[in-house]
Amino acid sequence: MNNLSAELSEATINQVREELQSKTVRATSPEMEEILYKPISVLDHGFIRAIDYMGTDASIVQAARVSYGAGTRKIQEDRGLINYLMRHHHTTPFEMCEIKLHIKMPIFVARQWMRHRTASLNEHSARYSVLSSEFYIPEVSQLAKQSDINKQGKSSAEFDRNHANEILKILEQSSHNAYERYSHMLDDLSLTRELARTILPISIYTEMYWKIDLHNLMHFLKLRADSHAQYEIRCYANVILEILKKWLPITYEAFVNYQKEATSLSKKNRELIKRMLKGEKITQENSELSKGEWLEFTAIFDIKD
């Protein structure tokens, strides 16, 4: 079971699924059961596969209601309770659900991923195995100039076709050349795998198992499915969002409404809105906000100067 890879045939995956299916008394999600072990493609060579999960929307409700003492009036609607928990940031009931994913991604995406230190993970080791010659090559639409303002982002300026093709050619050739030298050091020079791998670029693909509880998963998604996140990790986050929708539809709806698409207001922002509702003309000069804060504030509410 642990040696499954994305290249397995559909028939083999179905056979494994049939062998694993048995009667159970634990809470299950029919839509999750349907997609277990099935790889979902991401980028050019990557995938995400749901391996296992624990809990459903009902598990969150069950965990929350444990805290109510005897005689306390029960909340009748599960949706209403989950909305309440999400809205007021009562997080522990969401920690009762967990998911385990098998993910194949470029190494530079994996290094961003590991910034989230609230999960358990086990990554494929190039000390013990030879890496495959699969490298991430971006699409032309993702090639852009570095932003002069945002050190982590790209500008809106796009390259012309010839310029873009030159960049792609460099990326492809450098990846190919690095892998040829990697193979040469392994096969012809008998260098250890742990040192031979050091020549490979961070665009090469790696794999890992990643297990995380729902509360921390939603924090990951809020950051990585955001439009400001790097495109590549955002592609993976968007796939996980769809998995979450199948797994916990009520929680997914609450998460999108109260967290992912919600806006947090500072005390100053709130006071500015009150002044605007009273008819006062607000500008940056009388807002007491910095230029950056003012731009963010006006963008959120589509305010025109």
Dump pLDDT digits (tens) for 189-219. 999 999 999 999 999 999 999 999 999 999 9
pTM, two decimals, is 0.87
> Look-up: residue for tokens 């873009």?
164
Residue 53's pLDDT is what? 97
Q: Is the pLDDT of residue 73 over 80?
A: no
Burial of 188 (0-12, 13-18, 19+ CB in 10 A): exposed
Q: Which residue has the tokens 């968007």?
A: 238
pLDDT category at 150 given cuts 50, 70, 90 is low
- From the list 45, 26, 76, 94, the residue with the least C-alpha distance to 252 is 94
Residue 131, classified by CB atoms within 10 Å of its CB into exposed (0-12), middle (13-18) or buried (19+), is: buried
* Lowest mean pLDDT, pick from 118-132, 140-154, 258-272: 140-154
* Bigger pLDDT: 51 vs 24: 51
pLDDT of res. 71: 41
Closest CA to 181 of 168, 197, 165, 160: 197
- CATH code of the domain occupying 10-133+205-260: 3.30.1360.170
Instruction: Give the least confident one: 20-34, 79-93, 237-251, 289-303.
Output: 20-34
pLDDT (mean) for 37-56? 96
Share of the chain above pLDDT 70, in %: 87
The pLDDT of residue 72 is 44
Catalytic annotation on 79? no
Average the pLDDT over 23-43 and give the result: 90
CA atoms within 13 A on the CB side of 206: 23
The whole-number average pLDDT for the span 109-138 is 95
Question: Rg for the chain (alpha carbons), in Å?
Answer: 24
pLDDT at 171 over 90: yes
Cα separation, 22 vs 25, in Å, equals 10
**pLDDT over threshold 60, residue 76:** no
Q: Give the H/E segment covering residue 53.
A: strand 46-54
Residue 152's pLDDT band (cuts 50, 70, 90): low
Q: Which of 79, 87, 117, 224 is catalytic?
A: 224
pLDDT at res. 41: 97
- pLDDT of 69 above 60: no
Alpha carbon 235 to chain centroid, angstroms: 8
Of the chain, the end-to-end C-alpha distance in Å amounts to 60
Quickly state the pLDDT bin for 78 (edges 50, 70, 90).
confident
Query: If DSSP codes are grouped into helix, strand and coil, which group holds residue 204?
Result: strand
| Number of neighbouring beta carbons within 10 Å of residue 153 | 12
What's the CA gap between 32 and 54, in Å, rounded? Answer: 10
Average pLDDT over residues 221-244: 96
Is residue 91 scored above 70 in pLDDT?
yes
